[in-house]
Amino acid sequence: MQQPRRATLRDVAQRARLSLSAVSLALRRPAALPPATVARVRRAAAVLGYTPDPALSALAAYRSARRVHRDFAVIALVSNWARREDWFRRASAQALWEGATTRARALGYSLQHLWAREDGATPARFGQILLNRGIRGLILAPFEDPEARFDLPWEHFAVVAVERPARHPRFHHVVPGYFADLLLVWDQMRRRGYRRIGLVLDHGLAERAAHQWEAAHAFEQQRGSATAVVPTCVIRGADGGAGVLGWLRRHRPDAIVSRSDLAFPALRAAGVRFPADLGYASLNVVDDAPGVSGILQPREVMGAAAVDALNAQLLVSQLGPGPHSLGTQVDGVWHEGATLRPLPA
C-alpha cells in the first residue's frame, strides 16, 4: 500500500503564503520574527500535519554545530561579585574557565570573562554594553550571594547558570552533584571505620547548595550506620573557626565532612592532627587546604557542559528565561589525600 506523501516545508510556505525562507526561520528561530508571523506558520503546519524530516534535521544540526553563526561568535562568562578577582582567583573558577574555554574554542566561539561591575556599571548599563558588542550568549558564574538578583534584559540573551541562582530559577544550569557527593564521602568514611561523623558547613555555601549536603547527611545518619547523631555545625561570619572548635569539644566526632574555608585552618591551628586525632574530608578539595581527602569536583567538565548547553540554545535562538529549565548535574569523584586513615586491605 502506497504511503501518503509527507508534507514538506514548501507546502507549509504555500499554505501560509510566505516565502520558504520565512517559514524555515519561523520554525527554527521564532524569536527572529513577529509573533503573528510565527503563529501563522504554525497554524499552516498543524493543518498539513507537517513534521520535520528527521534525517534532514540531523544533517542540518550537524552542519550548524560545525559552523558557529557569525552573530554569536563571542560568548561571555559573566561574574558579578563585589570585586573582579573575588570569584575568578579561586582554583575551582580557574578550572571551570579552562574547561569552558577549551570547549568554546572547539565549537568556534571566542569566550571572554566580563565583570558586570566594571567601572561601576549598573546592571542596565552592563546589559547595554553586551548588546552593543553583539554578545548574545552568557554563562553566569556562581553568585556571591545566591539569594541576590541580577536584572539584565534577559529576553535578549541565551543564558546558562553555573550553580543555579535562587532568584533566577528558569535558566538552564550546570550544578555539582551535591547530594551524591556527600553520599560518596560517607561511603568512604564508613569503609574506613568512622562512626561519629560530623558535618561542618559555611552558611552561605549551604544556601548555594540548596541545603542538599545537610539533607544527604541527615539521610545517612538515619540509616543507622553511625553510632551517634552529631549535630551539623554551620559557620556564620569570620569568627566561625572558634565555633568549630567549641562544636568539636562538645560533640567529639571521630571524623568531619567539611565545606568551609575556615574549618581546616582553625583545626590545624588548634593542634589537631589528621588523621591521628580526627578524620577530615572536604566537599571541594580544589579550594581547600593542600593534601586533604575528599571530593574532587570536575569543574573543567562543568565549564564544558555549560558551553554545550549555551550552544544548543544559540543554534535555535532560545533567548531569555524559558517556561522550563534544564539542569546538568556533574558528580564529583573521590580524591585520596592524607587526612583520613587508609582503607583496610
Closest-CA residue to 261 (of 203, 327, 341, 335): 203
Q: Beta strand 333-335 with 293-296: parallel, antiparallel or unpaired?
A: antiparallel
Top pLDDT among 60 and 143 is at 143
36 or 137, which is more confident: 137
Report which of residues 68 and 145 the model is more confident about.
145
Stretch 246-263: mean pLDDT:
94
* C-alpha–C-alpha distance, residues 286 and 65, integer Å: 33
Q: Checking phi first, is residue 49 left (phi over 0); if not, alpha (psi -120 to 50) or beta?
A: left
Q: Are strands 327-330 and 172-176 parallel, antiparallel or unpaired?
A: parallel
φ/ψ (deg, to 5) at 114: -125, 130
How would residue 219 be classed by pLDDT, with cut points 50, 70 and 90?
Answer: very high
Percent pLDDT > 90 in the chain is 59
pTM: 0.77
Task: State percent of the chain over pLDDT 70.
Answer: 90
Least confident of 88-102, 121-135, 218-232: 218-232
Residue 4 is predicted with a pLDDT of: 65
Q: Of the ranges 60-69, 102-111, 272-281, which one carries the lowest mean pLDDT score? A: 60-69
Is the pLDDT at 81 greater than 90? The verdict is yes
Which of these, 175, 334, 197, 191, lies nearest to 279 by C-alpha position? 197
Q: What is the pLDDT of residue 68?
A: 47
Cα gap 113→100, rounded to integer Å: 11
| Domain 178-297 CATH class label | alpha beta
Residue 268 reports pLDDT greater than 90 = yes
- The answer to whether residues 339 and 280 touch, using CB atoms and an 8 Å cutoff, is yes
Buried b (16+ CB within 10 A) or exposed e, 166-194: eebeebbbbbbbbbebbbbbbebbbebeb
pLDDT band at 115 (very low <50, low <70, confident <90, very high): very high
**What are the residue boundaries of the structural domains of the chain, listed by start?**
1-52, 70-176+301-331, 178-297
Q: For the segment 16-73, what is each residue's pLDDT rounded down to a tens digit?
A: 888 888 888 788 767 667 888 888 988 998 888 887 765 555 555 555 554 444 445 8
d(CA 189, CA 257): 9
Helix, strand, coil percentages for the chain (3-state, nearest 5) = 45, 15, 40
Q: What is the pLDDT of residue 105?
A: 92
The domain 1-52: what is its CATH number? 1.10.260
Looking at residue 232, its pLDDT comes to: 94
- Same topology for domains 1-52 and 70-176+301-331, yes or no? no
Position 2 pLDDT exceeds 70: no
Question: What Rg, from alpha-carbon coordinates, does the chain have?
Answer: 25
Are residues 88 and 113 in contact, defined by beta-carbon separation less than 8 angstroms?
yes
Task: Report whether 148 contacts 87 (CB < 8 A).
Answer: no
Burial status of residue 234 (CB atoms within 10 A of its CB: 0-12, 13-18, 19 or more)? middle
- CATH T-level assignment (fold) for domain 70-176+301-331: Rossmann fold (3.40.50)
Beta strand pairing call for 137-140 and 74-79: parallel
pLDDT digits (tens, 9 = 90+) for 285-337: 999 999 999 999 999 999 999 999 999 999 888 888 888 889 999 999 999 99
Question: Are the C-beta atoms of 188 and 334 separated by less than 8 Å?
Answer: yes
Q: 181-185, 204-208, 243-247: which has the highest mean pLDDT? A: 181-185
**CA of 63: how far to CAs of 15, 132, 225, in Å?**
28, 28, 53
Judge contact between 69 and 107, C-beta under 8 A.
no
